[in-house]
Structure 1
Amino acid sequence: MKFDDVLHQIGGFGRFQKTLYVWICLPQILLAFHMFVSIFTGAVPPHLCLSTTTTWPSPANQESGTDPSWSSGSSSIPSFNFSQVELACPAAGGASQQANGVGNYSGQLDGELQGGGATGECKGGWEYNREIFSSTIVTEWDLVCDDAKLNNIGSFIYMFGLLVGAVLFGTLADKYGRRTIILVGLALQALFGVGAAFAPTFYIYTMLRFVVGTTISAVIMNAFVLGTEWTGPKQRMLAGIITDYFFGVGYILLALLAYLIRDWRQLQLAISAPGFVFVFYFWVLPKSARWLLANRKHEEAMDLIQKAALVNGRPLGHDIELEQDQNIDKTLEKQRKHTVLDLVRTPKMRTQSLIVFYLWFVNVLVYYGLSLNISDFGINIYLTQFIFGLVEMPARTITLFTLNRSRRISQLAFLAVGGLACLLTIFIPDDLSMVRTGLAMVGKFGITASLSIIYVYSAEVFPTVVRQSGIGMGSMCARAGGAIAPIIYLLKRQSPKAPMVLFGLCPLVGAALTLLLPETANMALPDTIEEVERAGQSSSNEKGTSCA
């Protein structure tokens, strides 16, 4: 019997698989914590530079025309109302911005007031508004003005860790098994996550966060693969969406957790320490029977299958034999004959591959570009985080109803919705922050749905002989998009609207390119590159005939 036949016989999604998905889904909550905690730990409160020689205007007395002085050297420093003070950053050539109050907080504010000329230095130290955050990495290490870019670079390094983790742990998982890499990833994630809470310098903190980023890929990829390899074909799409829901739950819970814990070290500790609880996975998380068979561990695989059958209440006879060596060897032999270069060697395959890679890139670029910079939209940062988390649920649910109708139209439509919504935000004035947040929410909805679709769509576009290579390259492009997302916001120094323009135009380009991809809903999957090329030629011939 083939493995899928045995899986069907023991139950494609019985009690064994449901229990497995509980173990797979629980870590997704912590993964969401680690992915988005920098929204709060790296937030930039309104701030002032305290000059040791400069007199300072008191907002309370500005209306009366008086201008009493005070200095950072005095024993009692007056309390500034940051929502009324016009701030100017020396590094920005004196360009000023209006600080926002608690009810209209903007974490991207980079304004300072410094007397005596725009030198770009602050010798008297910084004064931060601590009404929203008691401390962040910005307030602790003064990552403002000239050093503000370090915050973005730190986010880039963390996201680059996801790219490194995808390559490193993807390879190790094929060699040592999905379960082993998940356990290693969870252990490293807890250890280095807690370590980041005690980092003495920004650079050590960034290094520790980089390692955490690599473990995110280790757990996400291999948990998805482990669940898929134990689940029947009919239930795989729904099972995959379930894990996404738990990621969304983590998204929402982080808003509550960050609201309750305003100190960045305590928050970092709170999201990392629970990871040590997963030590019990060493005893409950099963291996992949498919991986065991592929690595010629037939007896261990059969023992696991028998156990799964008993848990599902559908025991197998001991005379069951799997088609193991011959079929697996043939499949592996075919795959070894092809390399990553085969994805771009022939015309039709090259076009489809490059488009899919771009779709992976742009989906993740915009998803994290919006998610990691929610403070740009002008309303309470905690409320925005909560709303963006809620949007994840319907966005992922709606794909269950659209995918079976058309993969191509679903991908195109949601990309277009996400891109248009992001583009429209640039035309909304700052005083209409609710409207701008609403549009950003629509953009997040479209991109989240599109991101869910690309996982399924790309697996069907690539033929069997290069499917693993294609998905692997797509994942790398996705991680590259995630790494670039924080850097995009450095363009705000040139134009405040530049990031949202890119986040709007890039998905629209992707929507147009999707028209060049084949429809794969309810279609037989291609096994060889030759089939892909013949399908392209057939389509061309049909068009030529109809035109004639």
Structure 2
Amino acid sequence: MSNFRQILKEIGEFDLFQKLLVIALCIPGMFSGFDTISQVFIGMSFPHHCNTDWILKRGPNMTEEEQQNLTLPVNEDGSFESCKMFTPVEWNLETIEASGINSTTGCSDGWHYETPKGASSILTEFHLVCDKSRFIEISQSVNMAGIFFGVLVFGTISDRFGRRRAILLSLLLQVLFGLAVALSPNIYAYIVFKFFCGVSGSAIMISLSVLAIEWTIPLRAATCTTLLMTSYCMGLMALSGIAYSIQNWRILQLVLVGPLVLVLGVFYCFIPESACWLISQGRKEEALKVLQRAAQANGRTVTEDLLDSLEIEDSPHTGNILNIFRIPYLRKRVLIMSVTWFASSFLYYGLSFNVGSFGVNIYLTQFIFGVAEFPANFISLILIQYLGRRISQAGFLMFGGVACLIILAIPKVLPVAITIIAVLGNFGAAASFSIAYVYSAELYPTVVRSNGVGLNSMCARVAGVLSPLVRLLEVFHDTIPMLVYGIIPIVAGGLCLLLPETLNVELEDHPELKKPTTGYKLKRHTSDQRI
């Protein structure tokens, strides 16, 4: 949008105001991954077996090992069954030791969990084991379903009511429902609250990135988005340390959500609205106030000539998703980018939710995943400036997909090798996600930008819903999940090559998305729009 670019040149394209804004936006960016990825620790699995304290009535002084030998069946590998026990009998201890018990039953009296002192998870507290073990995957998918719904809702809120209000509302709801999660009385309430956490948390990164991009020039847009994604990585690294230090899931949830109260207060007082959005809505006075604030922070003076040249009509028009599908070239872009976001999310969460299955300490693995995203974001930033958005997006998707296929060829007795390849796959997924935020925002006109990026992100959340459920296909063959995680990104990478390049291209505005008398212009420029 070259007219607004002219205004940015006068007030400062990327000076103190924009730098402080990006730094401020990075703060909630650190918390954005907590709600989703913390599920790895909040739902952590611990060794468990049936509660067989019934036999202590026959022999109260027996050791734990003796109790288990008499009451628990043994698997082929020599370990005790976790979901079966020998049927309780009314025999005396001597008879049980001499004859043994042949019949088995389910865990009728609950379970014993082998947890570190003070540690707990929703699995141990709500007994999500054996016939209830799938509730972990279900809760993850429901959280992603909430994100799916939230992206649809908050995309509209952002385009209709502004980027600032969307951010503040999402932070408020994240605080309220995050606290409710920590107080959940049962797994059903937990799942409901996690759904609404997903609804509110979905808007944070999208609204943050759109606001940052609309306050700067295209050359700096990728830098802003990368910094936001880097703050997300820092959050993941911090999450590993916090979860290791606080292994009680309720306290952990409170610690992860509590600081957002302060963030919400600071943002309410200081976060600005997007001047670009205000202009597109015909709100001239508000736009001028925000522009003057930015110019003052940058040590610039907004001349009366520039302010007078900003002519805004009184018939603002808000775009919607139907506008995108009405125009052929936008329809093509949104469909391909939706597949791209789906594949990036599918790959990312497919690996992230499986960190406990690679054979290495879960806290260390999650920390390494977070560390790997740092170079992923910065390398992707460098490559998209030299190779362009399209080639970089396609390349990282294919790289991540191939990594998943390589994991299938590595024997399970080599957990370190599997973890290294998984980290490389996560590297590709993180880089692809980072590029997608930049690329998508540059592909859509201003009045439908949040709706377009929101629709793409909605498809990513569909992938988030399906990704945990794909692990259930292990019952047919243990290679199926990783095979699916690998093939989809490779296909999506090929489709990316059909998109246009947006490197060093102005943010666009499409005249068909505006009413004839709608919009803004600078008096000295009569037609400066790009299709």
TM-score w.r.t. length of structure 2: 0.84
> Which residue does the alignment assign to 2:462?
480
Is 2:130 the partner of 1:140? no
Q: Distance in 2 between matches of 1:262 and 1:358?
A: 37
The alpha carbon displacement at 1:32 in A equals: 1.9
Aligned residue number for residue 342 of structure 1: 326
Please list, as runs of the form range in 1=range in 2, the aligned pairs for 1:80-479 lying within 5 A after superposition: 111-116=82-87, 121-131=106-116, 134-278=119-263, 279-319=265-305, 320-326=307-313, 332=317, 339-342=323-326, 353-404=334-385, 405-460=387-442, 469-479=451-461
Match of 1:42 in 2: 43
**Deviations for 1:126-182, whole angstroms, at most 9, x for unmatched residues?**
111103871100000111111111111111111111111111122122232221221
Describe the SS at the equivalent of 2:193.
helix
Deviation string 1:310-350 (CA, Å, 9 cap, x unpaired) is 11111212342243425x969x49x679634336xx5x766
* Map of 2:523 onto structure 1: none
Separation of aligned partners in 2, 1:316 and 1:454: 34
Q: Structure 1: which amino acid aligns with 2:253?
A: Q
Mapped contact 1:339–1:469 kept (Cα < 8 A): no
Task: Quote the residue 2:471 is aligned against.
Answer: 489
Kept in 2: contact 1:374–1:381 (CA 8 A): yes
- What is the Cα-based RMSD across aligned positions, in Å? 3.2
* Distance in 2 (alpha carbons) for counterparts of 1:467 and 1:196: 32
1:31 aligns to what?
A: 32
Q: Which sections of structure 1, spanning at least 5 residues, go unmatched?
A: 54-69, 89-93, 101-109, 531-548
Could you tell me which amino acid in structure 2 is paired with residue 502 of structure 1?
Answer: V
Judge conservation of contact 1:45–1:133 (CA < 8 Å) in 2: no
- Determine the structure 2 residue equivalent to 1:514: 496
In the TM superposition, what is the alpha-carbon distance from 1:520 to its structure 2 partner? 4.4
User: Which shifted more, 388-397 or 505-514?
Assistant: 505-514
Structure 1 residue 455 displacement after superposition: 2.6
Between 112-121 and 202-211, report the one with greater CA deviation: 112-121
Task: Determine the C-alpha separation between the residues in 2 that align with 1:435 and 1:20.
Answer: 41
Per the alignment, in what secondary structure is the counterpart of residue 378 of structure 1? coil
Contact 2:155 2:450 in 1 (8 A): no
Residue 528 to residue 119, structure 1, CA distance change in 2 (3 Å): farther
Over the matched positions of the two proteins, sequence identity in percent amounts to 37
Residues 275 and 287, structure 2, Cα contact 8 Å, conserved in 1:
yes
Partner letter of residue 9 of structure 1?
E
Equivalent position amino acid for 1:50 in 2: N
1:232 deviation in Å? 2.4
Deviation string 1:188-228 (CA, Å, 9 cap, x unpaired) is 21122122111111111111121111111222222222222
- Rounded to whole Å, the distance in 2 between the matches of 1:300 and 1:350 is 33
Give the deviation of 1:352 after TM superposition. 5.1
- AA in 1 matched with 2:383: T
Is the CA contact 1:50–1:72 (under 8 Å) kept in the aligned structure 2? no
SS at 1:43's partner residue?
coil
Report the AA paired with residue 49 of structure 2: L
| 1:44–1:138 Cα contact (<8 Å) kept | yes
Deviation string 1:83-117 (CA, Å, 9 cap, x unpaired) is x9xx98xxxxx9877879xxxxxxxxx95343358
Work out the CA distance in 1 between the residues paired with 2:330 and 2:162: 30
Question: Where does structure 2 lack aligned partners over 5 or more consecutive residues?
Answer: 88-101, 513-531
CA contact (8 A) 1:457 1:520 kept: yes
For residues 504-538 of structure 1, what are the alpha-carbon distances to aligned partners after superposition, in whole Å with 9 as ceiling and x for unaligned?
A: 111122233334444444568887699xxxxxxxx
Task: Give secondary structure in 1 for the equivalent of 2:49.
Answer: strand
